[in-house]
């Protein structure tokens, strides 16, 4: 963690400061959900997730599991109404539990609550599920074909959403260019693999107040989900199984299970770039094919964030970005460190690197030539979104990026040329380079905090 230096008042000369949790994390003392003491009377949950990427559920026989001593409750689509689960209004909005279809390898089909983890796992093994396996679609471009099999039968296509942002005149900007280049860059789905497995939780609804312990940074999203699935006021929160049995519930998932619950959005990004002979950008035209997986989940935020990152930190007089986001039979994609922004940032800077080499410039010089200056905004006050004119509300550049680049180069001992290939006899080739991305913030939900300062200048924040 960084903090401002006390030696230079009024400057942003940042110095190293220790993270408050770093010692506990590197020594293994940090407490996660599975380390927390269990409330008295805690039941343990386990789940069955689909082993198929696309299939119909023809039948579920849980009779042997229900007769197993120690089983307290079982939830599947056939009895979801008994738990007052209303479900999402359409299959493309991920159901709490799968109905007659499973749409990715990991779709939740069945849950059990039992007196211990061993009993819960034994009950899972006693359940018999009959599937009719269907052909899966894993690639966004394949799913977007008019003849493609539908992931969600209540929709007309596998297109989750489309969007178009533009300013200037792309055709005119490309005509002004001395060089026009087109390339495609791909970013695959990946799983962030946090230290704590995703989806573990402890829930206590044994009284009138619901307590939830879960590894999440989006508590507002959980309340929205509870409201949609159970029809409760948002203040009441979640979770239905604990509410029915009136006992605390704990679910401890493995890393393998977490891998089957979320991922980063996959992108295929095609860029057409117009340049003058001196390297000045005249036009930037981009097309995104985005794979959001089996359900809508993070499709809107990832698509919107990607579009606002599509011109990077550069001066672009003529610009267009088109996005098609598709349903596939991949794991539903969600939040992932700067959701939706890393992929176009990688593609734009890769394009500039490739273009620089083709016109005989150093990549770094091409970047510096087109960087926005401090205080500089877009070259337009308005842009079109899906054909409708709107104010271009983007804050101007608030940093001296060339100075930051200079300091970074000094720090890594690099003078800018493309690194040489490894010499004969060398086992490792080390390369250096710089990418530039401009972060445009986003957020969700509302929270309240109170800050107070005492006579000694100590700030106390209550929330």
For residues 284 and 213, state if they share a domain. no
Q: Per the structure block, which two tokens stand in for 9? A: 């008042």
For residues 388 and 270, state if they share a domain. yes
Alpha-carbon distance of 376 to 399, in angstroms, equals 10
Which domain, by its residues, includes 11?
Answer: 1-28
Residue 87 lies in a domain: yes
Cα–Cα nearest to 50, from 36, 39, 60: 60
Residue 421 lies in a domain: no
Q: pTM (2 decimals)?
A: 0.83
Q: What is the chain's pLDDT, residue by residue, as a tens digit (463 residues)?
A: 444 444 434 444 555 677 788 888 888 888 888 888 888 889 999 999 999 999 999 998 999 999 999 999 888 887 777 766 665 555 667 777 888 899 999 999 988 999 999 999 999 999 999 999 999 999 999 999 999 999 999 899 999 999 999 999 999 999 999 999 999 999 999 888 877 777 778 877 766 666 777 777 666 766 676 666 556 665 554 444 445 566 788 888 887 888 888 889 999 999 999 999 999 999 999 999 999 999 998 899 999 999 989 999 999 999 999 999 999 999 999 887 788 889 999 999 999 999 999 999 989 999 999 999 999 999 999 999 999 999 988 888 988 999 999 898 888 888 776 555 556 666 666 677 788 887 765 555 566 677 888 888 888 887 5
Alpha-carbon distance of 158 to 155, in angstroms, equals 7
For residues 111 and 217, state if they share a domain. yes
Q: Per the structure block, which two tokens stand in for 219? A: 């508590």
Look at phi and psi of residue 262 and say left if phi exceeds 0, alpha if psi is from -120 to 50, else beta. Answer: beta
For residues 289 and 355, state if they share a domain. yes
Domain count for the chain = 3
Q: Measure the CA dihedral 288/293/295/297, to 10°.
A: -70
Residue 353 lies in a domain: yes
CATH number of the domain that residue 219 is part of = 3.90.1170.50
Cα–Cα nearest to 309, from 279, 269, 281, 273: 269
For residues 282 and 395, state if they share a domain. yes
- The answer to whether residues 449 and 326 touch, using CB atoms and an 8 Å cutoff, is no
For residues 87 and 156, state if they share a domain. no
């Amino acid at each position: 963690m960084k903090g401002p230096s006390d030696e230079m008042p009024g400057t942003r000369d940042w110095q190293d400061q220790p993270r408050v949790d770093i010692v506990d994390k590197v020594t293994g003392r940090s407490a996660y959900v599975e380390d927390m003491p269990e409330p008295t009377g805690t039941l343990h949950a386990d789940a069955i997730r689909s082993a198929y990427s696309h299939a119909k559920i023809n039948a579920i026989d849980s009779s042997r599991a229900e007769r197993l001593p120690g089983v307290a409750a079982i939830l599947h689509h056939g009895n979801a109404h008994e738990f007052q689960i209303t479900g999402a209004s359409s299959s493309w909005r991920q159901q709490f539990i799968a109905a007659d279809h499973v749409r990715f390898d990991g779709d939740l089909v069945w849950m059990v609550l039992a007196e211990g983890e061993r009993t819960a796992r034994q009950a899972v093994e006693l359940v018999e599920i009959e599937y009719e396996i269907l052909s899966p679609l894993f690639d966004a471009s394949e799913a977007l074909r008019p003849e493609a099999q539908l992931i969600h039968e209540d929709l007309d296509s596998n297109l989750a959403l489309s969007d178009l942002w533009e300013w200037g005149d792309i055709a005119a900007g490309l005509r002004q260019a001395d060089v026009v280049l087109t390339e495609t860059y791909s970013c695959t789905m990946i799983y962030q693999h946090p230290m704590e497995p995703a989806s573990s939780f402890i829930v206590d609804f044994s009284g009138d107040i619901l307590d939830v312990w879960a590894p999440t940074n989006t508590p507002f999203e959980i309340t929205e989900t509870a409201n949609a699935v159970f029809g409760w006021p948002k203040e009441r929160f979640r979770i239905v199984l604990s509410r029915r049995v009136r006992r605390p519930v704990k679910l401890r998932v493995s890393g393998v299970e977490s891998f089957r619950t979320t991922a980063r959005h996959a992108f295929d990004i095609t860029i057409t770039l117009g340049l003058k002979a001196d390297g000045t950008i005249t036009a930037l035209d981009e097309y995104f094919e985005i794979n959001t997986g089996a359900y809508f989940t993070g499709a809107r935020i990832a698509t919107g964030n990607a579009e606002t990152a599509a011109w990077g930190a550069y001066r672009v007089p003529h610009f267009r970005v088109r996005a098609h986001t598709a349903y596939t039979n991949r794991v539903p994609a969600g939040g992932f460190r700067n959701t939706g922004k890393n992929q176009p940032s990688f593609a734009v800077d890769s394009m500039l690197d490739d273009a620089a080499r083709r016109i005989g410039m150093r990549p770094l010089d091409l970047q510096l030539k087109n960087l926005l200056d401090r205080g500089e905004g877009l070259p337009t006050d308005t842009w079109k979104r899906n054909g409708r004119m709107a104010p271009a509300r983007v804050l101007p550049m608030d940093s001296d990026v060339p100075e930051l680049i200079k300091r970074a180069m000094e720090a890594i001992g690099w003078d800018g040329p493309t690194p040489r290939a490894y010499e004969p006899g060398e086992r490792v080739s080390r390369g250096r380079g710089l990418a530039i991305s401009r972060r445009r913030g986003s957020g969700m939900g509302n929270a309240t905090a109170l800050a107070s300062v005492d006579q000694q200048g100590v700030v106390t924040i209550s929330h």
